[in-house]
Amino acid sequence: MKRRWLYLICLVFFGIGSISDSPAASSRIKDIAAFEGVRVNQLVGYGLVVGLNGTGDRSQTFFSTQTLANMLERSGVSVNATQVRVKNIAAVMVTADLPTDIRPGGQVDVTVSSIGDAQSIQGGVLIMTPLLAADNQVYVTAQGQVVLGGFSAGGGGNKVQMNHPTVGRIPNGGLVEKDVLVELNGRSKLRLVLNRSDFTTASRAVRAINETSGAEIASARDGRTIEIQVPDKYTQHIVEFISMVENAKTDIDSPARVVLNEKTGTIIFGKDVKIAEVSIIHGSLSLQVGTTYAVSQPEGFSKGETAVVPEKTVTVQEDKGRSVMLREGASVEEVVRALNSIGAGPRDVIAILQAIKAQGALQAELEII
């Protein structure tokens, strides 16, 4: 079997000098950071959805019937959980996000997810479920009609399903019983936390805040945390001060990074990523092995018998060698386009970029997901 290598010879020259320090994008402070303590709090609880049309948990999920028995026991009805046989209930986990600026009596959306073997929770009603935070305190009680974005129907071996019928939502189904109090007025100091740690972005954010306020009130503690001194005139008007800081605009900076997804063949790369001088040789060989069947027919009046004879076939397909030339200082984007223009697929490009990084010519971080 003959083999030849497909030569993808790319001569890429990276000029000596620093990469441009031009900003990647300009954003508001509120889009790239948040004030410490001002955040949503995650809540979770275990509950029961009732009223299902025979699509609830089966007998294998014993904890749903145990939950029903406990609920009936609290209502004054004594039952044996082992004797309960119902298919219109489903054990679920209920989750919600509680903001810091909502007070008791307010409402939040909740998500209901089946944890048993229920086929669908369509048409079900969630019985009152307490939702707890990380401190094991109840902050929200949830109850109401579950709304699904799909359906599941069928019988007798035939089934039609759309989207995901075992997860639903209850709009405004959570009633806030206890708030998370974050007192801002009277504070003399605030901390701003960037969504992503970056020393350049933190330095630029400090400069933008100081220019907006007209005073040196902000200083970066590290690549993620910015400490802000609240001026005396804003001590009792902290919301106005936070609004001013959040709307200050700054130029964010992003590190040179190439993201590869080998499962889907997706390549995401920054526009300014460069590679040093490198020569690339990549082999491509397509081999197909199959079997065809031929009929062996004997001559007339002979004693032979007609038979089916399998014949092995081997097909080797090779691409012709092709090359591409790139300009001096070409970016990764230009390299990828050049490789695609001569027939290299996404997975070939991924393999080539990994090899370039291993050689040390890729001046960027390579992340594989």
Lowest mean pLDDT among 55-59, 226-230, 342-346: 342-346
Mean predicted confidence (pLDDT) in 192-215: 92
Supply the range of the domain harboring residue 83.
Answer: 41-176
Q: CB atoms < 10 A from the CB of 300, how many?
A: 5
For residues 237 and 215, what is the distance between their CA atoms, to the nearest angstrom? 17
- Which one is predicted more confidently, 278 or 183? 183
For residue 278, what are its two tokens? 């490198």
Dump the DSSP string for 171-229: EEEEEESS------TT-SEEEEEESS--HHHHHHHHHHHHHHHTS--EEESSSSEEEEE
Question: What's the CATH code of the domain at 218?
Answer: 3.30.1360
- Which one is predicted more confidently, 71 or 169? 169
Amino acid at residue number 95: T
For residue 23, what pLDDT is reported?
A: 45
Mean predicted confidence (pLDDT) in 54-65: 82
Instruction: Answer whether 0.85 is exceeded by the pTM.
Output: no
Tens of pLDDT, residue by residue over 86-121, are 888 999 999 999 988 888 999 999 999 999 888 889
Residues 166 and 216 in one domain: no
The yes-or-no verdict on residue 343 having pLDDT over 70 is no
Residues 60 and 165 in one domain: yes
**Long-range contacts, stretch 200-203, CB < 8 angstroms, 24+ apart:** 200/253, 201/32, 201/250, 201/252, 201/253, 202/226
Residues 169 and 54 in one domain: yes
Q: Is 366:358 a contact under the CB 8 Å cutoff?
A: no
Residues 108 and 151 in one domain: yes
Which of 297, 257, 262 lies closest to 274, judged by CA? 257
Residues 75 and 159 in one domain: yes
- Asked if the structure places residue 334 within a domain, the reply is yes
Going by the DSSP 8-state scheme, the letter that residue 321 receives in this structure is: P
Tens of pLDDT, residue by residue over 232-279, are 888 888 889 999 999 999 988 877 888 888 777 777 877 667 777 666
For residue 160, what pLDDT is reported?
A: 65
Residues 143 and 52 in one domain: yes
Average of per-residue pLDDT values in the chain: 78
- Asked if the structure places residue 298 within a domain, the reply is no
For residues 270 and 217, what is the distance between their CA atoms, to the nearest angstrom? 34
Residues 119 and 60 in one domain: yes
Residues 6+ apart with CB under 8 A from 251: 23, 24, 25, 26, 204
- Asked if the structure places residue 132 within a domain, the reply is yes
Q: CB atoms < 10 A from the CB of 33, how many?
A: 24
For residue 15, what pLDDT is reported?
A: 35
Tens of pLDDT, residue by residue over 5-21, are 333 333 333 333 333 44
Q: Is 171:109 a contact under the CB 8 Å cutoff?
A: yes
If one counts the domains in the chain, the total is 3
- Asked if the structure places residue 55 within a domain, the reply is yes
